[in-house]
Amino acid sequence: MLEARSVTIGVARRDLFRDLSLRLAPGKIMGLCGPSGSGKTTLGRVLAGLHPHRAGQILLDGLPIPRKGAHPVQYLAQAPLATMNPRWRVARVLAEAGCPEPDLVAAMSIDPDWLERFPHELSGGQLQRVSILRALTVRPRYLIADEITAPLDPISQARIWKALTDLAASHGIGILAISHDAALLGRIVTSGIEAIGARPA
């Protein structure tokens, strides 16, 4: 169980929200929606340990998340290109996380031909699949999928989410799906949609 217990999250001097609580169960997909600027991404980054929170606790199975080693909650960004070193070929980008398991490579349908290319030489959908494979390689317990299919065409979108829902079920990975797309969330979530409100203007 990944749990946020009455956390306060802020950017610069402003608090985005106070006392927010959230529970994500393993193997489940939870949706997170809210208007632009409401702090969905920041919440996702806090859960993945990329952004500090001001109060409250983030707990994994009731314990604080250890600082050492790969983070058990991996964050998937909307634009994966920026999360890859532009000087590295895809093979090296993937190797940074370790050696990916063959069944995961197959699940993400990664073409061996991509490995010799630079990240900017792949399309958005291909790049997102590489980024998901990299995150899965460190065997995370949870994934934060921040608008990962927003810029993609419906077919790539469906493919990626099909693979992720299968993985969530088979590997018991909990996924927090952040999206503006209510129709998409409606189809993939298995444990409800959390809505966070607009911040007071």
Binding site for other proteins (CB under 8 A): 48-50, 68-71, 74-75, 77, 82-87, 96-97, 118, 120, 134, 138
Residue 77 and residue 131: Cα distance in Å, rounded? 9
- CA–CA gap between residue 90 and residue 33 (Å, rounded): 32
CB of 44: closest distance to other proteins in angstroms? 12
Nearer to other proteins, 14 or 120 (CB): 120
State in angstroms the smallest separation of the CB of 81 from other proteins.
9
- Which residues 6+ apart lie within 8 Å of 117 measured at CB? 89, 90
In the complex, what is the shortest distance from the CB of residue 136 to other proteins, in angstroms, rounded to a whole number?
Answer: 11
Report, in Å, the least distance between residue 85 CB and other proteins: 5
Nearer to other proteins, 28 or 71 (CB): 71
Supply the minimum distance, in Å, between the C-beta of residue 182 and other proteins: 28
CA distances from residue 97 to 1, 94, 100, 127 in whole angstroms, order as listed: 24, 6, 8, 15
- CB-nearer residue toward other proteins: 19 or 96: 96
Distance separating alpha carbons of residues 179 and 97, to the nearest angstrom = 26
> Is 113 in a helix, a strand, or coil?
helix
Nearer to other proteins, 139 or 199 (CB): 139
Give the three-class secondary structure for 120: helix
Determine the distance from the C-alpha atom of residue 114 to the mean position of all C-alpha atoms in its chain, rounded to a whole number: 22
Nearer to other proteins, 13 or 87 (CB): 87
Closest distance to other proteins from the beta carbon of 134 (Å): 7
Of 95 and 193, the one with the shorter C-beta distance to other proteins is 95
* Single-letter residue type at 139: R
Q: Which residues contact 61 (CB under 8 A, 6 or more apart)?
A: 1
